[in-house]
Structure 1
Amino acid sequence: MLHLRKRVLSHLLSAAPAPSTSRLLSLHRLLSAAAPAVSPNPSFAVEEYLVGACGLTRAQALKASAKLSHLKSPANPDAVLAFLAGLGLSGADVAAVVAKDPRFLCAKVERTLSPVVVGLTGLGLSPCDIARLVLLVPDNFRQRCVVSKLEYYLPLFGSFENMIRPLKHGSSILDSDLERVVKPNVSLLAECGIGACDIAKLFVCSPWILCAKPGRVLEMVACAEGIGVPCGSGMFRQALQAVSYLSEDKLAAKVDYLKKTFRWSDAEVGIAVSKGPFVLVSSKDTLKRRSEFLISEVGLEPAYIARHPSLLSYSLEGRLRPRCYVMKFLTENRLLKRHTCYYTFVKATEMEFLDKFICPYKEAAPHLAEDYAAACKGEVPTRFRFT
């Protein structure tokens, strides 16, 4: 009988058919028919079962078995494996789920797992979506409250894809208390003038803000305002995201670094941060290299950079440097009909840049497009060729 059970499980896991709710609800009945209820067996070897039936490595099985020492029979784990096969998970997927959450094998299919699937299907999730959720957060999936939490989060994030992105880095949003933590934070941000779409973007990029204690979020709001970005402004979401990474001491140190690196006054730092909060979380190396290039090579004034902080967000080798060469080439050869500032060269999309600063000069400078393309690859010639 044990041999028959293993054959049934092996077939289910290797086949991994297209999942459907009706198939899922009948799979454990098929398994029960193939293998009647088994009485507790003191000799049941959990570690061997994890290797043979679940596909874990010996090391994974040894670690997982410590959490399953109470199991005396394969009956419930068999039903769970059938459930996972019904979702369309492959053998490798099943091994990943069990290794991540060994106690998933103890979940009750009829009482917990199947009702969760029915509930999530009712929210509009596809079988594929549900399978992805199991792989990412198996411990949360075996709790029926996951349905009510997703019922709140799906409209908050705007889509399943948006909601699942933070789950790739941890399950904190599903572990957090909706009534005491999450909903108060959402209400607070709405009161700060952040719209629903921006709230979703904020939580996709920085889910820890959603799960932070409301008092901590209040501190973030005050900090964002303290660096010169008032509630309701277009940059407030970005400012909030930036300060969420920094303690008060680290924020002060970063401001000092900006002043020193870009030769900015307090007022200029305020202008730069209010227009581009991302500078607070940019690495020191990134900031230093751009400062050296923009001030020493391009010849920009510190105040100019402060008024256009987005210059610091572009690739140095792929954008700032090649377009500087084009600007200097066109200027030195008097091909520009009127003065054009460097920021205009940089902010243009690639298509706009080619249309405005490369294509019009094909006859006057036939090698310009070729030299620009080489510059974008880092193969910058000593001087752009005119003929």
Structure 2
Amino acid sequence: MLCLRLRCRALSQLLSSPSSSPISQLRRLLSAAAPVVSPNPSFAVEDYLVSTCGLTRAQALKASAKLPHLKSPSKPDAVLAFLAGLGLPGADVAALVARDPKFLCAGVEAILAPNVVGLTGLGLSRSDIARLVSVAGNHFRCRSMVTNLQYCLCLLGSYENLLSAIKRKSYILSSNVERVIKPNVAVLREFGLGPCDIAKLCHAQPWLLTCNPERVRAMAVCVEGLGVPRRSGMFRHALNAVTFISEEKIAAKLEHLKKTFRWSDAELRIAISKAPMVLNRANEFLQRKSEFLISDLGLEPAYIAHRPVMLLYSLEGRLRPRCYAVKFLKANGLLGPDRDLYSAVALSEKLFIEKYICPHKEAAPCLAEDYADACKGLVPTNFRIT
């Protein structure tokens, strides 16, 4: 335990004091605290994982199977001191070790400390680095991690965006930047995506940065084939919708959309070009929209195809209560019969209330209450005029 405290103090000194050669300083400090490494016949990995790392007995049993060559606490002690020096809480350390037991065998001087120095040079604080270790796991042990992080940090625009992407796809820290990540970004640029769109897309779908560039190209070509032109504002959304969906599933979804909304091929392409996000909506979700918009309201398929964003709105929380309110207002002469339904459902909630509910408080004093109930799913048989 004395060794752990010494090593922890050493790393804390490194991170808190400016130095012209932080790696050299860390090596001197850790070398001074390091014991002579020798096999310990009484060392039991499973017990160490429980008593020192905070794992449960079941976790330790599973983790110890991945550490058959660990015969001494020297390396794990150094790693734990490194993590403590970063300020990583005990619960996070236990979670990290349970997820990646081999992290305990990582070289502090050879890999972990240089990575910390590199990250500090990029402007990351000790708490930033501690959060990164928690989500990056074994990828923090990668020598190329700092280079990858620097590139992806510029690409995604902020550390929070980067951390969020790493949580979903930590391989962005270890994939080859020159052979994989940059070529994928080049494909996205080729299809007309600017820096802002690329940042948003790769934040939502970080897999696009790490897969085979030819696969990214194939997905982009698929999007064009759906009727969404490159350089259009919807191209990013379309690519997001079809990412890693097989051609067979996309074809099946297109057929379902045509059948459900009674669209022609041309109407389908119009709808997809305007709201490609419908491609990843569940079939049941779409079926219920069709029943309400076409069967209940009597809207024409072509009308919906030109306003497909309606299909993305909540049926219970938006479409149904607003349509009931508009129908009530028209029936009572409070709204012109030619007022377009889409103009009502497309408004924000605040604007809808300002334009369609508040102006009729005197003529229909119960309208606000009935509309509020409808938004909660308590739809009355008829909205009340008094």
TM-score normalised according to structure 1 size: 0.91
Q: How far apart are residue 64 of structure 1 and its match?
A: 1.2
Aligned match of 1:47: 46
For residues 166-218 of structure 1, give each alpha carbon's deviation from its aligned partner in whole angstroms, at most 9, with x where no partner exists. Answer: 22223232232211111111112112111011011111111222222121122
Distance across 1 between alignment mates of 2:39 and 2:169? 36
| Pairing of 1:11-160 with structure 2 (within 5 A) | 20-22=15-17, 36-160=35-159
Kindly tell me: are residues 338 and 381 of structure 1, through their superposed partners in 2, closer, same or farther at Cα, counting changes over 3 Å?
Answer: closer
Report the Cα distance in structure 2 between the residues aligned to 1:325 and 1:4, rounded to whole angstroms.
72
Taking the aligned partners of 1:18 and 1:94, their CA distance within structure 2 comes to 20
For residues 268 and 18 of structure 1, the distance between their equivalents in structure 2, rounded to whole angstroms, comes to: 66
Check conservation: 1:251, 1:280, Cα contact below 8 A: yes
Query: What residue is the counterpart of 2:372 in the other structure?
Result: 373
Residues 149 and 216 of structure 1: CA distance in aligned 2, closer, same or farther (over 3 Å): same
SS in 1 for 2:168: coil
Rate the CA distance shift 1:240–1:138 in 2: closer, same or farther, 3 A.
same
Letter matched to residue 165 of structure 1: S
Per-residue CA deviations over 1:53-98 (Å, capped at 9, x if unaligned) read 0011111111111222212211221121111111111111110111
Secondary structure of the corresponding residue to residue 47 of structure 2: helix
Q: Is the 8 A contact 1:156 1:200 kept in 2?
A: yes
**Amino acid corresponding to residue 144 of structure 1 in structure 2:** R
Gaps (5+ residues) in structure 2?
none
- In the alignment, the residues of structure 2 paired with residue 373 and residue 227 of structure 1 have an alpha-carbon distance, to the nearest angstrom, of 39
Aligned residue pairs, count: 380
d(CA) in 2 for partners of 1:305, 1:239: 18
1:374 to 1:29, Cα distance in 2 relative to 1, 3 A: farther
Output the amino acid matched with 2:319.
L
Show the counterpart of 1:312. Answer: 311
Tell me what 2:226 maps to. Answer: 227
- What is the root-mean-square deviation of aligned Cα atoms in Å? 2.5
Q: Is 145-154 or 37-46 further displaced after alignment?
A: 37-46
Distance across 2 between alignment mates of 1:278 and 1:19 = 49
Aligned-partner SS, 1:168: helix
One-letter amino acid matched to 2:128:
D
Contact 2:40 2:72 in 1 (8 A): yes
Q: CA deviation at 1:321?
A: 0.5
Deviates more, 1:22-31 or 1:141-150: 22-31
Per mean C-alpha deviation after superposition, the further-off stretch among 71-80 and 169-178 is 169-178
Q: Is the 8 A contact 1:229 1:236 kept in 2?
A: yes
* Preserved CA contact (<8 Å) 1:330 1:336: yes
Structure 1: runs of 5 or more not aligned: none
Residue 345 of structure 2 corresponds to residue 346 of structure 1: yes
Identity of aligned residues (%): 63
Deviations, residues 119-176 of structure 1 (Å, cap 9, x unaligned): 1111122222211111111211122310011111001011111112222223232232
Q: How far is 1:363 from its partner? A: 0.8
Kindly state the Cα deviation for residue 385 of structure 1 after the two structures are TM-superposed: 1.1
Where does residue 268 of structure 1 map in the other structure? 267
Instruction: Tell me what 1:330 maps to.
Output: 329
Distance of 2:16 and 2:115 partners within structure 1: 11
